[in-house]
Each structure stands twice: as structure tokens, then as C-alpha cells.
Amino acid sequence: MKNQKGFTLIELMLVVIIIGALTAMVMPRLAGRTEQAKVSAGQADVSANIATALKLYELDNGRFPSSEDGGLTALFTKPSNAGNWNGPYLEKKPVDPWGHEYQYKSPGAHRTYDYDLFSMGRDGVESEDDIKNWEN
């Protein structure tokens, strides 16, 4: 039996204990990061991704899509009154990280010079967790 190679039960137990200790140290740091990542993704959509598509629409048509034109729908489906539509500017209807549609109003109530774009956040109703393009 002296020539047999392998791990002893004690060595395997030590490896399992070390992996368990490392997991116990790392997991609490990762907890709660999912929600933080969703907020960051929503902020990126509102401030960059959807905003870029809206700016491209404005460059082509001379104005932002109005709420009467279908709002964000005008970014992937040509509205009847779009003169120089070169879309689609988005591939599909934009949905926030929590599965709710982004809200769009043009002209905006808060940003009257262009549009209001926001996500109602995790709870799906207007509250403090909303992600808006008119506040930092």
C-alpha cells in the first residue's frame, strides 16, 4: 500500500474546510450586489442607451418623438408622421432591469426643452427608488 498515490481523508477534509471558509468570507460581500447592478443598468439605459437612440431619432427627424407618436415605440416602429426615419433605433421596446417599461414623456414636465425618461424602479410605482433623467 505504500506505492499507492492519492489523498487521505484528512487532506480532503482540510480542502473542504478551506473552501467553506473562503465561501463564508466572500458571500456576505456579494450579497446585495444584484440590486445595485440593476440600478446601475437602469441608470445606463436612461442616461446613455435610450438617450442615444432618442438623439439619433432627433437628428433624423428634427425633433424627439412625441408621446402622441407612441413615445419610445417610435424608436423601433416607424410612426406615420416621421419624415426621415432611419430606424430602428432600438431593436425592441426598452424594459428596465425589473421588467417594467421605461416611462417617456415629450415634451417633458421636468425637462420641458426635450423629454422626461424614467424607470419606476424595483417597486414599479413612482417613489424614491425611481431612476430619472432630470436628477443626478
For 6-14, what is the mean pLDDT?
80
Q: Which residues of 91-104 are buried (b: 16+ CB within 10 A; e: fewer)?
A: eeebebbbebebbb
Summarize pLDDT for 21-34 with one digit per residue, the tens.
Answer: 888 877 777 666 78
**How confident is the model over 78-90, as a mean pLDDT?**
84
More confident residue, 34 or 133: 133
In this prediction the pTM is 0.72
Q: Identify the architecture of domain 36-132 in CATH.
A: 2-Layer Sandwich (3.30)
Instruction: Count other C-beta atoms under 10 Å from residue 117's C-beta.
Output: 26
Percent of the chain with pLDDT over 90: 24
Q: Assign 19 a pLDDT band (cuts: 50, 70, 90).
A: confident
Q: Dig out the grid coordinates for 40 from the structure.
A: 446601475
Of residues 127 and 2, which shows the higher confidence score?
A: 127
Residue extents of the structural domains in the chain = 36-132
Closest CA to 120 of 98, 90, 94: 98
Under DSSP, the state recorded for 64 is P
